[in-house]
Chains A and B, each alone.
Chain A
């Protein structure tokens, strides 16, 4: 893993995504959209019905998060990643319509890793549970859809220097496996 920090700003292009490798430290500045299980389910239902999505999926980065409520004076409450495998069933459909990045925690299913190679997309992890710290890199939050879902509503977030690490890249590599191989004691 190199010490260099790669800076990116969504929307992401194929070239930007191909330049990222498993293990890269990445700093994201710009727009990310939030969605968890229930929101994913609704997005897929819209695609099934041939309807328009509530935000532009082209090059989009989706952050799997359900923030805690903002206290008075706060932009957002605590906002760390949720476990990603719950979104596995939906991710390929979203990659097909342009999603380029996902931020969460925990390993993805093999079919999702394959889909990232096929559709040129990456999966990042943020530090699970470091939610009060991560909230500091979120500068603006706006609900764009599904307000009734409360913490699970789709939000547009403007982030600044949001630190993540590339877990799965467009070459099919997986940092969880690479990291373990390096430190495992048989």
Chain B
């Protein structure tokens, strides 16, 4: 709904979005993300099945395709770890939210989605380990952008792959080589813990916290969609080859396809620093978007 608001004596158009509509959308997206694996991931499984040389590796791809089909057909989660609800919001600066706060609306949606979708509640106190029992709070990352649109992406992330994430501050003299070495080594050390075949997300630059967020955002790109930056596209190719040449294969049991894709993002950094964040995503690469 568009309406006019008076700011400092000038009229400007604002678009109103109801908090309850955000809650509804989040609820639906939580369930969809966990039960309906993206077509790009399914296609990557099919490609992997063709590429894989190890018979065990091939059997794993076949099992993953079957698993994704059961999840989609029966509307059950593809993985029992239905993750931390990570929510990316792109909010147009002409949007106003009515009837409650945005964060409350999103958390309410997570609460409903995880309950009604029979999704596992995995969020707890770091010391007592007491479960919050409704999978809240969500991790909400908001960008204010131009325009009057409101875009929301739910990206549930399991603990097994999240535990393999790292942020490091490299020395600028190390350059690209140090970046490539660190990512390959991280992938090797993570072994079969993050349920390979994986997608490796990484951000080079920024500050430690900026890099961590962008490394996760890099995972949202569709598998197979080329990186618009030719330099990064080249590095992605090199990294994918090096990682798959490790020979660790699907589930780390030996084979050709240890990773299905590498997604890089670059951000300017301080003259004294070369930050690098690596975020590995398992084959249950879940994310769904909604837009108002």
Q: Which residues of A contact B (CB under 8 A)?
A: 1, 38, 65-71, 74, 77-80, 82-83, 85, 105-107, 125, 127-133, 135-136, 149-151, 165, 175-176, 178-186
Contacts and interface: CB of A to CB of B under 8 A. Distances in A.
Interface in B230-281: 245-249, 251-256
The interface size bin for chain B is: 35 or more
B192 interface: yes
B195 to A, nearest CB: 4
A183 B120 contact: no
Given A132-B67, A179-B54, A183-B53, A66 B193 contact: no
B42 interface: no
Nearest to B242: A185
Among all A-B residue pairs, the 3 with the closest Cβ atoms: A179-B254, A183-B247, A184-B247
A184 B74 CA distance: 38
17 contacts: A67-B120, A80-B81, A106-B191, A125-B192, A129-B78, A129-B195, A129-B282, A132-B70, A133-B66, A176-B191, A179-B248, A179-B252, A180-B246, A183-B247, A183-B256, A184-B245, A185-B245
A78 B80 contact: yes
Contact of A127 (B53, B60, B71): B60
B128 to A, nearest CB: 10
B160 A105 contact: yes
Contacts of B67: 127, 129-133
Contacts of A175: 253-254
B119 interface: yes
B133 interface: yes
Interface of B: 53-56, 60, 63-64, 66-67, 70-71, 74, 76-82, 118-122, 129, 131, 133, 159-160, 163, 191-193, 195, 245-249, 251-256, 282-284
**Binding site secondary structure of chain B:** loop
B281 to A, nearest CB: 11
A74 B75 CA distance: 12
A1 B192 CA distance: 18
Contacts of A136: 70
Contacts of A131: 67, 77-81
B248 A132 contact: no
B77 A183 contact: no
Given A80-B80, A83-B159, 11 more contacts: A1-B56, A68-B77, A78-B78, A78-B79, A83-B193, A106-B160, A129-B282, A151-B122, A176-B191, A179-B248, A181-B254
Nearest to B282: A129
A68 B252 contact: no
B248 A128 contact: no
Contact of B74 (A82, A132, A176, A179): A132
Contact of B246 (A1, A69, A165, A184): A184
Contacts of B246: 180, 184
A181 B192 CA distance: 15
Contact of B193 (A67, A85, A185): A85
B275 to A, nearest CB: 27
Contacts of B131: 149-150
Q: Which of B74, B78, B252 has the most A CB atoms < 10 Å from its CB?
A: B252
A67 B54 CA distance: 29
Q: Which of A71, A106, A132, A135 is packed against the most chain B CB atoms within 10 Å?
A: A132
A135 B118 CA distance: 14
A125 B54 contact: no
A176 B192 contact: yes
A125 B195 CA distance: 11
A165 B80 contact: no
B292 to A, nearest CB: 29
Nearest to A74: B76
B192 A67 contact: no
Contacts of A180: 246-249, 252, 254
Contact of A176 (B129, B133, B252): B252
A184 B249 CA distance: 9
Contacts of A135: 76
B169 to A, nearest CB: 26
A132 B71 contact: yes
B120 A38 contact: no
A169 B77 CA distance: 32
Nearest to B76: A132
Contacts of B81: 66, 80, 82, 131
A83 B79 CA distance: 13
